[in-house]
Amino acid sequence: MGVSGSGKSTVGNLLSQTLNIPFFDGDDFHTKSNIDKMSSGIPLNDEDRYDWLITLNKLAKEQLVNNSCIIVCSALKQSYREILGADIQNKVKWVHLVGSFEQILGRLNKRADHFMSSALLKSQFDTLENPENALEINTRLKLKDIVEKIKETLEMKSEFGLFGLGVMGKSLCRNLAQKGFKISLFNREVKGSEESIAVNFKNSFKELEGAKPFNDIEAFVNSLQKPRKIMLMVNAGKITDMVIEDLIPFLSEGDVLIDGGNSNYIKTKERYDYLKTKRIHFIGVGVSGGEEGALKGPSIMSGGNRKTYDVIKPYLEGIAAKDANGLPCCTYVGEEGSGHFVKMVHNGIEYVEMQLLAEVYTIFKTMGKNPNEIADIFESWKEKANSYLLGITVDILRMKDGEDWLVDKILDKAGNKGTGNWTIIATANLGAPSTLVASALFSRYISFYKEERLKANKNFNSNTSELKLNPEDFLSSYQFARIINHYQGLKLILEAGKAYKWNLNLSEIARIWTNGCIIKSDFMGELISILKEDENILNHKSIIDELKRFKPSINKIVAACVLKELPVPCLSESVNFLNAYTTANSSANIIQAQRDYFGAHTYQRIDDASGKFYHTKWKKQTN
Amino acid sequence: MGVSGSGKSTVGNLLSQTLNIPFFDGDDFHTKSNIDKMSSGIPLNDEDRYDWLITLNKLAKEQLVNNSCIIVCSALKQSYREILGADIQNKVKWVHLVGSFEQILGRLNKRADHFMSSALLKSQFDTLENPENALEINTRLKLKDIVEKIKETLEMKSEFGLFGLGVMGKSLCRNLAQKGFKISLFNREVKGSEESIAVNFKNSFKELEGAKPFNDIEAFVNSLQKPRKIMLMVNAGKITDMVIEDLIPFLSEGDVLIDGGNSNYIKTKERYDYLKTKRIHFIGVGVSGGEEGALKGPSIMSGGNRKTYDVIKPYLEGIAAKDANGLPCCTYVGEEGSGHFVKMVHNGIEYVEMQLLAEVYTIFKTMGKNPNEIADIFESWKEKANSYLLGITVDILRMKDGEDWLVDKILDKAGNKGTGNWTIIATANLGAPSTLVASALFSRYISFYKEERLKANKNFNSNTSELKLNPEDFLSSYQFARIINHYQGLKLILEAGKAYKWNLNLSEIARIWTNGCIIKSDFMGELISILKEDENILNHKSIIDELKRFKPSINKIVAACVLKELPVPCLSESVNFLNAYTTANSSANIIQAQRDYFGAHTYQRIDDASGKFYHTKWKKQTN
């Protein structure tokens, strides 16, 4: 299908020879009355076309009995295509030859035997209703390539492969299939533990009807159109390297591997470099949203070569969540492992958001409130500080386990999956003070030493006494700490961008975090425009005003918790951070003097702007 | 020299042939009266020996005019040796053949033509005064090896080489030379920046008279006795690898390289493995004490193969500081990079000790005290909480710069040299909550953003208001935080020991930290015995009692600082840490519920001791 001049007949003829199946030009099947009408210069109306379209539909059905065939027809309207494909919807493969108006007009006017007025072509473009499920092929491509591409599609090769059917992999498959992408799925076969996973999964969901399941790597790779686009959804680390090695023998030059796992950004760069030597493209993609996000639309952060990104962009943008303006929450972040870096920081911010809610919960609990009462308070916060994590915490607190609250039955030993640790490592390597992620991470570590804690609790007779605090101060404290958390996360990304020479757009990163991901929140939406004005949100007037407004509350809450011996590391740290950050003259002069004293590390002076380094022969200490 | 039967004549003869210089047996030079006396069975007294010793001294001087010679003589007393070496002290090389009583007696009794009673040999051993500067050679060695060893020494080969004459390298050289070790020194020659460093350095200090300076690597290596012992005092990182590569072509199997820089412990393991393939031994040694410690006696933490350590032990123990019992502050820590790991944690503890003093200083300053008044307070703390860092801080605060205090002129941008970062990275990799090192490190990072701070100070109008606090509470707060700091550092070492299967002795590590190093303190001395009882100091009654006693004070101080907007991250974090550590039921149940909600990460239940993992289908959030 396609407008006049898109090259349907030429392509159809060559394809017919290539596939060795009959070719039919739709124009040859008009009724006598239609031919008469057209000969008289009267344009056909939809009624005139009806019988003709029925004829072509009949032709297709007849041909299908034995084999298949190629029929060309402009088929500009959806209603025409419905008639053409009636009763054989699942067997018809639409190929739409597309080109711009200027492009097609140019092509037509080059033809010696043909003339079409600009107005006539314009009416065709006006009539054209783009089909949803057609293979779109740009007429600018070489004839040979057009035919090859159609051949691959007709041979039912898949557009996109997904390797690894864990929680996230499965959800992404369903998402891709729901968006109409033709996909191949792979999961390894391990006797006794992982059997027939791909087949069973495909059979469990209607949308996977057209998907092809595999447990053989070679067959999986060969089922894909070239250049192959394979997304790995396997455990980060050594498994990823092993899977890449397993795939390499079957890949061809120009194929694209997409690592959708939570890989370390440094490893992503190494894998990119390694695969380059094999002429395989590699893109590291951070996918956030958990199981539900992956299914309904995750937030996707892609890093690597931009041209390679463009090859996979339609798929990633197709499955991504949509922001408030309907744009996909998916972007090209930058070179190398920048996608995975940004995903890592996302998780760091997530650690803190979770910890803050846990700390506030603890205070409320100590004040004698039950989970449902705490959920009511959190519920009331949605108006001013809504976020996905706040929402799920409300659900969690309301969940019962028989007569009890389920949350009271959960063992308080928190796990972590690596990205929290990596954030701290990155922060140490880059010299950015991510104090809140550190506090949140360490809180999980401390929680992990449950047995030591129980012993210490006895040894120290720790029993937090009753707390009386003003309820209004809590929301302000929570909001204060969240701002500092977002500042620190963005600062870490900014420092990485400088250090690795990635050209990052913080506002765009905030935008793709407004939906689909775990840290989506109303505040994230506000950050889009704030970050356009200044990459340092602590320079922004509205943020400064808010922090000033919230500060007295969090000061009170933290001081009260310290006096009552309640651990609130993240809340405390957010206060200490801003206090340090807004200190014009810090105590680091003492540190510098000490370093110079014992290690001759030298120091600079406030009264010498040249930055010269001084060393003092300090008096010998006498102790 | 040596007792009868130690093999002096045999060794002397073979050595004379090897070196092609004359051999003299001292016994051949006795005066007639002495020979008569001995023939009559009368033992010689010191007066009898006087002329004989003078004769041998004269003989040596005569021989030295043309060349050199070998003289054997029991020379058991220091007074004999003084006569023998009179006027030629710097040219005499003493070689002492040593063996145990049983060993020598056995040798004597094997001789067919000789008999010595056990009593007579015993009297020789009783008379023997061990020489201080002799080459000691065990008679158990093969004759060939004894001769080869003496030859090397006589050829003036050095015992120990030091590569890299920076601040620390120079101090270690002087320390080694002062302890009587024969050393070679190397520094590269860079036209215009590093010229004649080794020669000039050697010429600047009397104790380096016997040291050999080099700027040629091959000559440096060849100047050392085998197996060569070369200590690298170069910048950690790539430089260390480059220097190793430069040395390799000139080294022989069995030579020992000692990395005395602040290398990353993981790199130390890699270098050990790499050099093993070249049959070169490698020891990673942490050296603490700064310039002064390196000169007067540092604390030395060695990691690697224990047998290799034994080869270099005399040198390292010789130059190390001495603890309260006179034992060297030097130990074999364990396998692989454990020495560098422990040094890294030492530096982490140091970061916190420095930061705590800086924080307390800030509070006092805010309370209106001048540096000298603060020094007075710190001075008064020495009684209960003395440490090297407290002492130097007193000195620093008293230092004037004209009419002003020098400390007020120092720019408050703190540097760091890598070990602080690495501690945080290690803590993240090992899952140990080193919250105080993180706070101290991040405080330096924040201090580094001076320009941002100045801007923020204006934006936020931050001016800490006056503080009124009880002076007695400060010392308690400081002591409290220091205990938590030491707990966390030791915990990190403990976790590393478990993870890497190093067999670590925490009490011994505390012992070598009682002197020579930057974190030496009275408290460190107390930890030696505490750690013998329990590796977790928070289980120890005296520590628990102290923390309980100090806690109300630090609670008050931290709460007041928070309310007055004064940054005290390390003090705060120490309170939060103990509060979290002593919490029987933490808020990590919330974190686990959240993780299970969005990522199906599962959780365990407090009412199921089997450790089974549960997953809940949480209610969909509605926001």
- Could you report the per-residue pLDDT of B293-308, keeping only the tens digit for each? 999 999 999 999 999 9
pLDDT at A90: 66
Q: Which tops the pLDDT comparison, A133 or A167?
A: A167
Residue A311 distance to chain B (closest CA, Å): 29
| Region B352-374 average pLDDT | 94
- Residue A515 exposed, middle or buried by CB count within 10 Å (0-12, 13-18, 19+): buried
Residues of B in contact with A460 (CB under 8 A): 544, 547-548, 578, 582
pLDDT at B463: 62
Place of tokens 């030696």: B528
If you measure CA to CA, which chain B residue comes closest to A450?
A: B584
pLDDT at B621: 47
Q: How many residues does chain B have?
A: 623
pLDDT at A623: 42
CB contact under 8 A, B581 and A518: no
The answer, yes or no, to whether residue A31 has pLDDT greater than 90, is: no
| Region A96-118 average pLDDT | 78
pLDDT in tens, B408-449: 999 998 877 688 889 999 999 898 989 999 999 999 988 888
Residue B546 distance to chain A (closest CA, Å): 11
Residues of B in contact with A424 (CB under 8 A): 424-425, 427-428, 438
Strands (E), A402-453: 404-405
pLDDT band at B456 (very low <50, low <70, confident <90, very high): confident
| Region B268-295 average pLDDT | 94
| B350 part of the active site | yes
Share of chain A above pLDDT 90, in %: 68
pLDDT at A599: 84
| Region A440-447 average pLDDT | 90
CA distances from B31 to A379, B44, B52 (A): 110, 12, 7
CA distances from A41 to A3, A36, A73, A105 (A): 19, 9, 20, 21
pLDDT band at A59 (very low <50, low <70, confident <90, very high): very high
How far apart are alpha carbons B269 and B285 in whole angstroms? 12
Range in A110-124, A301-315, B154-168 with the lowest mean pLDDT: A110-124
| Region B537-566 average pLDDT | 94
| Region B137-157 average pLDDT | 85
The answer, yes or no, to whether residue B518 has pLDDT greater than 60, is: yes
Angle CA B200–B204–B210, to nearest 5: 90
CB contact under 8 A, A562 and B544: no
Mean pLDDT of chain A: 91
The answer, yes or no, to whether residue A80 has pLDDT greater than 70, is: yes
The answer, yes or no, to whether residue B119 has pLDDT greater than 80, is: no
Q: Which tops the pLDDT comparison, B467 or A451?
A: A451
Mean pLDDT of chain B: 91
If you measure CA to CA, which chain B residue comes closest to A389?
A: B594
Nearest to A559 among B457, B563, B620 (CB): B563
pLDDT in tens, B218-252: 999 999 988 899 999 999 899 999 999 999 999 99
Share of chain B above pLDDT 90, in %: 68
CA distances from B126 to B120, B121, B130, B200 (A): 10, 9, 11, 45
If you measure CA to CA, which chain B residue comes closest to A355?
A: B591
pLDDT in tens, A478-499: 999 999 999 999 999 999 999 9
pLDDT in tens, A159-186: 999 999 998 999 999 999 999 899 999 9
How far apart are alpha carbons B545 and B549 in whole angstroms? 6
Residues of B in contact with A359 (CB under 8 A): 587
Place of tokens 């990460």: B601
CB contact under 8 A, B457 and A583: yes
The answer, yes or no, to whether residue A304 has pLDDT greater than 90, is: yes
CB contact under 8 A, A567 and B558: no
Residue A132 distance to chain B (closest CA, Å): 32
CB contact under 8 A, B592 and A413: yes
- The region that residue A602 occupies, defined by phi over 0 for left and psi between -120 and 50 for alpha, beta otherwise, is left
The answer, yes or no, to whether residue A620 has pLDDT greater than 80, is: no
pLDDT at B622: 44
Residues of B in contact with A392 (CB under 8 A): 594, 597-598, 618, 621
CA distances from A308 to A255, A300, B466 (A): 9, 15, 60
CB contact under 8 A, B599 and A291: yes
Residue B470 distance to chain A (closest CA, Å): 15
| Region B476-498 average pLDDT | 96
Residues of A in contact with B595 (CB under 8 A): 354, 414-415
Rank B35-39, B157-161, B521-525 by mean pLDDT and report only the highest.
B521-525
The answer, yes or no, to whether residue B47 has pLDDT greater than 70, is: yes
* Contact between residue B429 and residue B417 where contact means Cβ atoms under 8 Å apart: no
Amino acid letter, residue B562:
V
| A417 part of the active site | no
The answer, yes or no, to whether residue B465 has pLDDT greater than 70, is: no
The answer, yes or no, to whether residue A157 has pLDDT greater than 60, is: yes
pLDDT at A195: 85
b/e sequence A288-324, b meaning 16+ C-beta within 10 Å: bbbbbbbbbbbbbbbbbbeebbebbbebbbbbbbebe
pLDDT in tens, B158-197: 999 999 999 899 999 999 999 989 999 999 988 888 888 9
Tokens of B66: 């043309």
pLDDT band at B376 (very low <50, low <70, confident <90, very high): very high
If you measure CA to CA, which chain B residue comes closest to A492?
A: B445
Active-site residue identified among B350, B359, B495, B526? B350
Nearest to A618 among B358, B392, B431 (CB): B392
pLDDT in tens, B305-348: 999 999 999 999 999 999 999 999 999 999 999 999 999 999 99
CB contact under 8 A, A410 and B453: no
Range in A253-262, A312-321, B208-217, B448-457 with the lowest mean pLDDT: B448-457
pLDDT band at B583 (very low <50, low <70, confident <90, very high): confident
The answer, yes or no, to whether residue B43 has pLDDT greater than 80, is: no
The answer, yes or no, to whether residue A584 has pLDDT greater than 70, is: yes
The answer, yes or no, to whether residue A112 has pLDDT greater than 60, is: no
